[in-house]
């Protein structure tokens, strides 16, 4: 049964801990409930906001529409063959819980994505990634309900048009579908990705040698790194990485290296492009650890903007724009938010 609330606080539903409200709010626990909601005549033209884990949102105002908290749960193996296991999860399932399910069962492919906040449904929208792996590398398909018609549609890998922190759901069909489940294709025989970031160094500190390498060891290393660098939203409000790592022309990267010899760069799969760590750029501009009232830049990771208590979304957004401006002035590089601003 649908329980639609009025003027519900959204503070518990965003990891920044911003105290916005929604004109209408409903929690959805199944695809059937979602389709029933869309059949109601009360809210056809009301703006809709989809809430997962709230780890990719910054509220700068109240939402004058219908907020849908997607809480569809469940993890199940739906198929397997000699090389792969196919696992389907409800869109409201905690992403890290899905990763731990795969690690416990020896299903390889998502161990580098351990401890990323948020829900399963948001993962393909954002094409989440970390430490050299993106969800598109293990993605099989997803199911989504079209808001306009209430009909269920299956999206294949090609349909999703994945890019760096991009998908069709952030572009051509933005706001037109609600994801209800995601199916991943995991490997029986792991291919380890340990060259990115501090994974190799951390594995060494953990006493894990090459002959003892496992998907659990890689997952444990990633968790250790993330916990050492990133603040827990339960302790300090934040949405993880606030900005995307910019990809610039490799020729331009080489020119910048003459002025900034320590500038790091990573391959993108396209020789003409090089990925530059946004956190490094921000730190070089002197923002790391800066605080303005309750809005600040995290002391251990400059890529993370934080709410120390009672910061407003507008204050955090203002800080983000100042960071963008200083990086543009110093390096000539534009930073683009990963976080969705409402």
* 266-316 tens-digit pLDDT: 888 788 899 999 999 999 999 999 999 999 999 989 999 999 988 999 999
pLDDT band at 218 (very low <50, low <70, confident <90, very high): very high
| Secondary element (H or E) of residue 125 | helix 122-126
Q: What is the mean pLDDT of residues 116-125?
A: 91
DSSP 108: B
Of the candidates 190, 200, 210, 53, the residue with the CA atom closest to the CA atom of residue 121: 53
Q: Would you say 134 and 152 are in contact if contact means Cβ atoms under 8 Å apart? A: no
Residue % of the chain over a pLDDT of 90? 65
Query: How many residues in the chain?
Result: 342
The total of other beta-carbon atoms located within 10 Å of residue 85's CB is 20
pLDDT of 1 over the 80 cut: no
Q: pLDDT of 73-92, one tens digit each?
A: 999 999 999 999 999 999 99
pLDDT band at 219 (very low <50, low <70, confident <90, very high): very high
Active site residues: 165, 241, 338
Residue % of the chain over a pLDDT of 70? 99
CATH of domain 75-208+217-225: 3.30.465.10
Top pLDDT among 254 and 229 is at 254
pLDDT of 183 over the 80 cut: yes
pLDDT of 120 over the 80 cut: yes
CATH of domain 5-70: 3.30.43.10
DSSP 244: P
pLDDT band at 55 (very low <50, low <70, confident <90, very high): confident
| CB under 8 A, 24+ apart: contacts of 148-152 | 148/176, 150/35, 150/38, 150/39, 152/31, 152/35, 152/180
pLDDT band at 204 (very low <50, low <70, confident <90, very high): confident
Cβ-count burial of 252 within 10 angstroms (0-12 exposed, 13-18 middle, 19+ buried)?
A: middle
CATH of domain 237-341: 3.90.78.10
pLDDT at 200: 85
**Buried b / exposed e along 20-30 (16+ C-beta atoms within 10 A):** bbbbbbbbbee
Tokens at 13, concatenated: 């539903």
Domain ranges within the chain, ordered by starting residue: 5-70, 75-208+217-225, 237-341
């Amino acid at each position: 049964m649908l329980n639609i609330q009025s003027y519900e606080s959204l503070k518990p539903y965003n990891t920044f801990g911003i105290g916005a409200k929604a004109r209408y709010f409903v929690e959805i626990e199944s695809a059937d409930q979602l389709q029933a909601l869309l059949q109601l005549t009360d809210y056809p033209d009301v703006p809709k906001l989809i809430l997962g884990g709230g780890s990719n949102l910054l509220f700068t105002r109240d939402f004058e529409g219908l907020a849908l908290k997607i809480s569809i749960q469940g993890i199940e193996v739906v198929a397997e063959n000699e090389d792969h296991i196919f696992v389907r999860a409800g869109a409201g399932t905690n992403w890290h819980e899905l990763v731990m399910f795969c690690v416990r069962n020896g299903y390889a492919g998502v161990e580098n994505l351990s401890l990323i906040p948020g829900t399963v449904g948001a993962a393909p929208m954002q094409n989440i990634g970390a430490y050299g792996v993106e969800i598109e590398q293990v993605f099989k398909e997803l199911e989504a309900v079209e808001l306009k018609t209430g009909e269920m549609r299956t999206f294949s890998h090609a349909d999703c048009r994945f890019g760096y922190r991009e998908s069709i759901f952030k572009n051509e069909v933005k706001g037109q579908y609600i994801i209800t489940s995601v199916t991943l294709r995991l490997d029986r025989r792991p291919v380890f990705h340990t060259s990115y970031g501090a994974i190799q160094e951390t594995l060494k500190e953990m006493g894990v040698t090459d002959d003892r390498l496992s998907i659990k060891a890689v997952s444990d290393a990633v968790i250790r790194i993330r916990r050492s660098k990133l603040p827990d939203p339960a302790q300090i409000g934040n949405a993880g990485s606030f900005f995307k790592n910019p990809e610039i022309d490799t020729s331009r990267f080489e020119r910048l290296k003459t002025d900034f010899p320590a500038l790091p760069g990573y391959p993108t799969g396209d020789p003409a492009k090089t990925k530059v760590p946004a956190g490094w750029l921000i730190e070089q501009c002197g923002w790391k650890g800066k605080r303005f009232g309750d809005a600040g830049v995290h002391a251990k990771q400059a890529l993370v903007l934080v709410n120390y208590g009672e910061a407003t979304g507008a204050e955090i957004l203002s800080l983000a724009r100042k960071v963008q401006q200083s990086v543009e002035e110093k390096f000539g590089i534009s930073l683009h938010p990963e976080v969705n601003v409402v």
